[in-house]
C-alpha cells in the first residue's frame, strides 16, 4: 500500500515504513513522514499473524518490533530513532534544534514519551484492547501522572520543547491522543486537549484509527 503522493522523494525511491495500523509508535513515524512531505511506502506488518517474527523481518530489526524505516540502504528501528533520523536527515533544524538548550528540551520530552506515556498510557490501552498482562491500575496511575505533567507544562505555551512543533510533540502525541482507548479521560486536561488540536492542525497531518479529532 502506497502512502500519499508527496512532492519530495530522495534517491529515486520512496522510503519504506514497516507499520501496523493500531501501533502508536508506528504512527509517530508515519506522522512525521507526512508532515515533512516525504514520499513513502507503507508495509503493513500483521503482528497477530507473527509477521514480525519471520526471518525476513528479523533481518531488518532483530528486536522483532515495529516501526522500521528503510531509506535506501539505511535501516532504522525504534520510533524515537526514526524521528531523530527523519528530522536530522530531511527536516533541517525545524524539527530537532541543534543548539544545546533546544535539543535538551526535546530530549527531555522524548524521555517522557518513553516512560510515563509508554509504560502508562500505552500499556493501559494495551491491557484493554489487546489483553496484555500488565497491571491496569498501575499503568493508569502512571499515565495520569504524565498527563498532569503535560497539562502544567502546556498551560502557558503551545508546544512542548521550543516555540514551534518538534519531534518532542510527535513523540508524545499518539499515546496521549489514544488515552481514551485505555479508559483514561482527557476531559480534565484542557491544555493537553488544545495541544492535541494544534498537532492535528499541522499541514500534512494524517489520522490514526482510535484518535478523535479535537
Query: In the beta sheet, which residues pair with residue 75?
Result: 70
The pLDDT of residue 8: 38
Summarised one tens digit per residue, pLDDT across range 99-143 is: 999 999 999 999 999 999 999 999 999 999 999 999 999 999 999
The pLDDT of residue 13: 75
Q: Please name the residues in contact with 136: beta carbons below 8 A apart, sequence gap of 6 or more.
A: 124, 127, 128
The pLDDT of residue 9: 38
Task: For the chain, list residues with pLDDT below 70.
Answer: 1-12
Contact between 143 and 189 under an 8 Å Cβ cutoff? The reply is no
Domain boundaries, the chain: 15-90, 100-200
Distances (CA, A) of 3 to 43, 153, 211: 10, 34, 19
Contact between 151 and 192 under an 8 Å Cβ cutoff? The reply is yes
Structural class in CATH, domain 100-200: mainly alpha
Same fold, 15-90 and 100-200: no
The pLDDT of residue 55: 97
Give the number of C-alpha atoms closer than 13 A to the C-alpha of residue 154, restricted to the C-beta side. Answer: 27
Structural class in CATH, domain 15-90: alpha beta
Residues 163 and 88: their CA atoms lie apart, in Å, by 18
Amino acid at each position: 500500500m502506497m502512502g500519499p503522493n508527496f512532492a519530495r522523494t530522495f534517491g529515486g525511491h520512496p522510503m519504506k515504513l514497516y507499520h501496523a495500523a493500531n501501533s502508536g509508535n508506528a504512527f509517530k513515524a508515519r506522522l512525521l513522514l507526512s508532515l515533512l512531505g516525504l514520499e513513502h511506502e507503507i508495509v503493513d506488518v500483521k503482528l497477530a499473524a507473527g509477521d514480525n517474527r519471520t526471518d525476513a523481518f528479523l533481518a531488518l530489526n532483530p528486536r522483532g518490533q515495529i516501526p522500521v524505516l528503510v531509506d535506501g540502504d539505511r535501516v532504522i528501528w525504534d520510533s524515537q530513532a526514526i524521528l531523530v533520523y527523519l528530522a536530522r536527515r530531511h527536516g533541517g533544524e525545524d524539527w530537532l534544534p541543534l543548539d544545546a538548550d533546544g535539543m535538551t528540551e526535546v530530549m527531555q520530552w522524548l524521555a517522557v514519551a518513553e516512560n510515563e506515556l509508554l509504560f502508562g498510557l500505552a500499556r493501559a490501552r494495551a491491557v484493554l484492547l489487546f489483553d496484555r498482562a500488565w497491571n491496569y491500575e498501575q499503568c493508569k496511575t502512571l499515565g495520569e501522572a504524565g498527563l498532569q505533567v503535560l497539562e502544567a507544562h502546556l498551560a502557558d505555551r503551545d508546544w512542548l520543547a521550543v516555540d514551534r512543533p518538534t519531534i518532542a510533540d510527535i513523540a508524545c502525541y499518539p499515546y496521549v491522543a489514544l488515552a481514551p482507548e485505555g479508559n483514561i479521560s482527557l476531559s480534565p486536561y484542557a491544555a493537553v486537549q488544545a495541544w492535541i488540536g494544534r498537532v492535528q492542525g499541522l499541514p500534512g497531518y494524517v489520522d490514526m484509527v482510535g484518535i478523535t479529532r479535537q
